[in-house]
């Protein structure tokens, strides 16, 4: 089935909070040209909870009408009513599937499996589902066994957005168990080098250089280990800087703006602001990166 890179899209805003579709289109175009085999919208880093329902639908429709790669739509919500409503609109618009994160209150194995079963029932049979396993943010811990149960028992589940941390052994365990899921890894790519070697099918994350994601996945898939690590290591200082809880999105949008992909790094409130010092730190990292990876040189 080959390897995949689903880039998670930021939602560009103007300084006044309006959605900047020109930047959105440019960002999407860039991701596809960089080799993205899929795109994900309305995730945590897409500021999904700050969008009104109509805006969310508009973004999904625009995206689906402009690209040929599969689109995954984040539909996580505190209740099944909103989840079902958005799922319906997304699938009608041509989405390939929806991504669902677990509510933070889940604790036991059975609670987790039951939640996904109920969610699948709520959104309707047959909708392809991506399970998001991100304990650091959601506080929900899914063992490989639980993920295997979900894959086996819940209709529609076909992909895992893996972002457990540490998570390498979990990939090995899932592969050893032959759990029939596509495994795309997240966590801002902080362990992408080894995740591929453990058997991941690719990445689904939002690092500001999608070229890094596609490059590492491609080199690793081709067995060119040292080259994959060389490329990865060149980006690691920035990857690490971007993968800071809460602040990360501000860093990402700032880099995308520096790259000329977004016109503004504005977020809707509540926004994590980037201090002047932090911007200078990112600038410094970008300079160093350009020396180590010429492909990452800014155009302006």
Residues in the site for a copy of itself, rule: CB under 8 A?
48-53, 55, 77-82, 84-85, 104, 107-111, 114-115, 118, 121-122, 140-143, 145-146, 165-166, 168-169, 172, 190-191, 193-194, 197-198, 229, 232-233, 236-237, 240-241, 244-247, 268-270, 275, 277-278, 281, 288
* Residue 32: CB minimum distance to a copy of itself, A: 28
How near is the Cβ of 30 to a copy of itself at its closest, in Å? 26
Q: Number of C-alpha atoms within 13 angstroms, CB side, residue 10?
A: 31
Which of 67, 271 has the CB closer to a copy of itself? 271
Q: Residue 114: name the closest of 144, 150, 78, 143 by CA.
A: 150
**198 versus 258: smaller Cβ distance to a copy of itself:** 198
**Cβ neighbour number for residue 284 with a 10 Å cutoff:** 11
| Closer residue to a copy of itself, CB minimum distance, 31 or 219 | 219
Give the N- to C-terminal CA distance of the chain in Å, as an integer. Answer: 38
Instruction: Encode burial over 108-133: b for 16+ CB neighbours within 10 A, e otherwise.
Output: eeeebbebbbebbeebeeebbbbbbb
Considering the complex, state which of residue 36 and residue 89 has its C-beta at the smaller distance from a copy of itself: 89
Nearer to a copy of itself, 162 or 198 (CB): 198
The least CB distance from residue 39 to a copy of itself, in Å, is 21
Pick 33 or 275: Cβ nearer a copy of itself:
275
In the complex, the smallest distance separating the C-beta of residue 104 from a copy of itself, rounded to whole angstroms, is 6
Least Cβ distance, residue 141 to a copy of itself (angstroms) = 4
Distance in angstroms (rounded) separating the CA atoms of residues 294 and 277: 25
Q: Specify the pairing of strand 71-74 against strand 4-8.
A: unpaired
| Shortest CB 6 distance to a copy of itself, Å | 23
Q: Cα dihedral sign for 155, 156, 159, 161?
A: negative
* Nearer to a copy of itself (CB atom), residue 161 or residue 170: 170
Bridge partners (DSSP) listed for residue 100: 131
Q: Which two structure tokens, joined as six digits, stand for 66?
A: 């402009």
**Dist CA 71 CA 228 (whole Å):** 26
Structure tokens at 205: 């994350």
Task: Report the distance separating Cα 274 and Cα 181, nearest Å.
Answer: 37
d(CA 147, CA 243) in angstroms, rounded, equals: 25
Least separation, in Å, of the C-beta of 68 and a copy of itself? 30
Distance of alpha carbon 214 from alpha carbon 222, whole angstroms: 12
């Amino acid at each position: 089935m080959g390897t995949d890179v689903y880039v998670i899209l930021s939602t560009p805003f103007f300084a006044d909070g309006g959605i900047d579709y020109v930047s959105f289109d440019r960002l999407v175009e860039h991701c596809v040209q960089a080799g993205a085999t899929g795109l994900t919208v309305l995730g945590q880093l897409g500021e999904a909870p700050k969008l009104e329902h109509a805006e969310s639908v508009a973004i999904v429709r625009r995206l689906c009408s402009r690209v040929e790669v599969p689109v995954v739509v984040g539909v996580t919500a505190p209740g099944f009513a909103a989840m079902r409503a958005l799922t319906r609109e997304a699938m009608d618009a041509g989405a390939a599937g929806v991504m669902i994160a677990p509510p933070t209150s889940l604790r036991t194995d059975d609670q987790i499996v039951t939640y996904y079963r109920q969610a699948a029932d709520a959104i309707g049979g047959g909708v392809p589902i991506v399970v998001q396993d991100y304990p650091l943010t959601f506080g929900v811990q899914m063992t490989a066994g639980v993920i295997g149960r979900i894959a086996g028992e819940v209709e529609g589940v076909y992909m895992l957005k893996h972002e457990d941390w540490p998570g390498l052994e979990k990939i090995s365990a899932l592969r050893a168990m032959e759990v029939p899921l596509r495994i795309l890894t997240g966590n801002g790519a902080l362990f992408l080098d080894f995740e591929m070697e453990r058997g991941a099918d690719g990445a689904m994350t939002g690092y500001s250089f999608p070229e890094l994601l596609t490059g590492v996945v491609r080199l690793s898939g081709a067995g060119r280990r040292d080259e994959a690590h060389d490329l990865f290591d060149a980006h690691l200082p920035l990857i690490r800087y971007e993968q800071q809880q809460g602040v990360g999105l501000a860093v990402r949008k700032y880099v995308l703006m520096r790259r000329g992909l977004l016109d503004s790094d504005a977020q809707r409130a509540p926004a994590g602001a980037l201090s002047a010092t932090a911007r200078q730190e990112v600038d410094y990292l970008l300079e160093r990166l350009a020396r180590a990876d010429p492909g990452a040189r800014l155009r302006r």
